Amino acid sequence: MYPAPFIAVEGPIGAGKTTLATMLSKEFQFPLVKEIVEENPFLDKFYEDMEQWSFQLEMFFLCNRFKQLESIEENYVKKQQPIVTDYHVYKNMIFAERTLSKKHMDKYRKIYHLLTDDLPKPNAMIYIKASLPTLLDRIKMRGRSFEEDIDPAYLKTLIEDYELAIEHLKQTDPGLPIITIEGDHTDFVSSQQDYQQIVQNIKEQVL
Ligand SMILES: Nc1ncnc2c1ncn2[C@@H]1O[C@H](COP(=O)(O)OP(=O)(O)OP(=O)(O)O)[C@@H](O)[C@H]1O
Ligand SMILES: Nc1nc(=O)c2ncn([C@H]3C[C@H](O)[C@@H](CO)O3)c2[nH]1
């Protein structure tokens, strides 16, 4: 494939993005860039009071992803080196549209475009879909303290937001191959067969 693969794994909270991105990074020996979670100073506050903390949180994620994508550009894309990430930059807009007030969203949208329009975008995407019960199970199993009381209604709207966002990406970036994984029925963690099917799809559609 030309240019080098830049694969983004996406899906709603707890879908398995980091898990799968890590497995694929090992599989293909591609470096992995993961988003910052534990060092995020606003996540726990946000889950306690979304209205109060959403702008700080969305800006924090945006700035971090901006910095990561800048270094992806320098260290991988410009050098024609492959890379795997556990997010697509458009994720910022998915969450911001859901969590910000209109006034904040108007400001955020301008900053988002200013920061990201000229940054490299993935040239392949893996979208892990999953139902609300599956996401709730996985979030519970993972056991992050700040997600303990996550509102199922918030997760449900995010599942829908992701569906719309994928449609949006298909329209705005029609050349982007998107491999969709049915997360409820595909257990790439414990089933070698399920995992190898994903690897095969990537080999056929991306590499
Ligand atoms: N297909 C799967 N089958 C079984 N368990 C899974 C599967 N995918 C992920 N898990 C488990 O679900 C939990 C959440 O996975 P992971 O942290 O990779 O999700 P994520 O999409 O990166 O989450 P976040 O949106 O919070 O960053 C982990 O404990 C992981 O081991
Ligand atoms: N509001 C908001 N905006 C984002 O861009 C964003 N990206 C991730 N997250 C949340 C989901 C997990 O709890 C946790 C780890 O992914 O952080 C986000 N939350």
Domains in the chain with CATH codes: 6-206 (3.40.50.300)
The response to whether 138 counts as a known ligand-binding position is yes
Mean pLDDT across the stretch 36-51? Answer: 94
Q: Are 155 and 135 spatial neighbours (Cβ–Cβ below 8 Å)?
A: yes
In this prediction, residue 38 has a pLDDT band, given cuts at 50, 70 and 90, of confident
- CB crowding 107-127: b at 16 or more within 10 Å, else e: ebeebbeebbeeebbbbbbbb
The response to whether 65 counts as a known ligand-binding position is no
- Kind and range of the H or E element at 196? helix 192-205
Question: Does the pLDDT of residue 1 top 70, yes or no?
Answer: no
CA 86 to ligand 1: nearest atom: 22
Mean pLDDT across the stretch 66-70? Answer: 97
Ligand 2 site, residue 91, Cβ cutoff 6 A: yes
pTM passes above 0.90:
yes
